[in-house]
């Protein structure tokens, strides 16, 4: 049951990282704020791997073709998912954008079943549906006009959830593809490879097409460094969760991030919760409780 503790820590750390990235978006733009998570997170991932290998006395697991395929796909999907989530946050409140992104839970269950053949029981499916219904209750406002402009952030958030689902399944597949090493060594090795791939892709892209934003992120190194650390810290625990149970279990429990995001919105952004949002949060809690009971 260690995956439960790992996931809760990951969700809390990711909420903090999202808040930091959301603030950086106004200065660096969507892509600039996205690359902060990866470029500044990569050195911390290397440090985590060094700590894991020294503390356990084990060697770093060897990469293979199947591992690189899954991890590479997950890395690219996560870049796209992060950019879409930040784009949604620019047009809707922090908690609502996070809520739309959390449609990932349903999508990751489907992708995990199709790609990895991971079991999905009726109880777990019900838990995912209940928790996701709570997410929609938080996100969709009564009487709100859904014209083209209003639909755009919703589509950004849902698409973000889809790419995050692909990323979760890819990382879970990469961890499982490693032939040797304890679960924590395989998880941290996958984290290092994924952040390395992401840093390389975004670093090259920005140096060629968005050099000004790249220079700004380097100038704001203090804020960027802390956001990168929180991103790597959150990912470390997400990956530990993926190494211990199915991606669907981890991402469904991860819906508690919506509750954390609501708290952040209230405290940092002065965005108060309505009764409807509180009802949605209650459904999220109920779905998560059912998941843990079924697990």
CA–CA distance, 60 with 38 (Å, rounded to integer): 21
CA–CA distance, 93 with 89 (Å, rounded to integer): 6
Cα 177 from chain centre = 21
The sign of the dihedral angle between the CA atoms of 215, 216, 222, 223 is negative
**Residue listed under structure tokens 């409807």:** 276
Whole-number pLDDT of residue 167: 95
Label residue 121 left, alpha or beta by phi (over 0 means left) and psi (-120 to 50 means alpha): beta
Whole-number pLDDT of residue 211: 84
CA distances to 100, 115, 137 from 110, rounded to whole Å, are: 17, 8, 22
Q: Identify whether the C-beta of residue 71 lies closer than 8 Å to the C-beta of residue 190.
A: yes
DSSP structure class, residue 115: I
Q: Which residues of 226-246 are buried (b: 16+ CB within 10 A; e: fewer)?
A: ebbbbbbbbbbbbbbbbbbbb
Whole-number pLDDT of residue 143: 61
Whole-number pLDDT of residue 5: 93
Whole-number pLDDT of residue 193: 97
Q: List the domain boundaries for the chain.
A: 2-294
Token digits of residue 231: 């991103």
Chunked in runs of 10, what are the mean pLDDT values of the chain (295 residues)? Answer: 91 80 72 80 94 88 95 93 78 65 83 86 85 76 60 80 93 93 93 95 86 81 83 93 92 81 63 72 81 71
Q: Identify whether the C-beta of residue 234 lies closer than 8 Å to the C-beta of residue 13.
A: yes
């Amino acid at each position: 049951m260690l995956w439960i503790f790992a996931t809760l820590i990951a969700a809390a750390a990711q909420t903090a990282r999202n808040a930091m990235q959301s603030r950086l978006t106004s200065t660096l733009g969507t892509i600039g704020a996205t690359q902060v998570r990866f470029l500044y997170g990569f050195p911390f991932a290397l440090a985590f791997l060094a700590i894991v290998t020294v503390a356990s006395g084990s060697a770093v697991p060897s990469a293979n073709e199947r591992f690189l395929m899954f991890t590479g796909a997950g890395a690219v999907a996560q870049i796209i998912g992060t950019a879409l989530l930040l784009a949604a946050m620019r047009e809707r409140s922090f908690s609502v954008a996070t809520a739309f992104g959390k449609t990932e839970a349903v999508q990751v269950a489907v992708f995990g079943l199709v790609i990895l053949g991971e079991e999905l029981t009726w109880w777990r499916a019900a838990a995912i549906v209940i928790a996701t219904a709570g997410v929609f209750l938080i996100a969709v406002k009564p009487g709100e006009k859904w014209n083209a402009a209003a639909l755009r952030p919703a589509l950004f958030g849902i698409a973000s959830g889809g790419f995050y689902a692909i990323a979760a399944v890819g990382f879970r597949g990469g961890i499982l593809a490693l032939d040797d090493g304890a679960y924590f060594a395989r998880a941290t090795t996958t984290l290092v490879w994924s952040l390395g791939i992401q840093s390389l892709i975004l670093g090259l892209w920005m140096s060629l097409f968005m050099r000004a934003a790249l220079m700004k992120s380097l100038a704001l190194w203090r804020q960027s460094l802390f956001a990168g650390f929180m991103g790597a810290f959150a990912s470390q625990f997400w990956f530990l969760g993926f190494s211990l149970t199915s991606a669907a279990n981890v991402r469904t429990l991860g819906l508690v991030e919506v509750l954390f995001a609501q708290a952040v919105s209230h405290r940092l952004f002065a965005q108060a919760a309505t009764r409807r949002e509180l009802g949605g949060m209650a459904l999220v809690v109920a779905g998560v409780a059912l998941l843990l009971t079924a697990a």
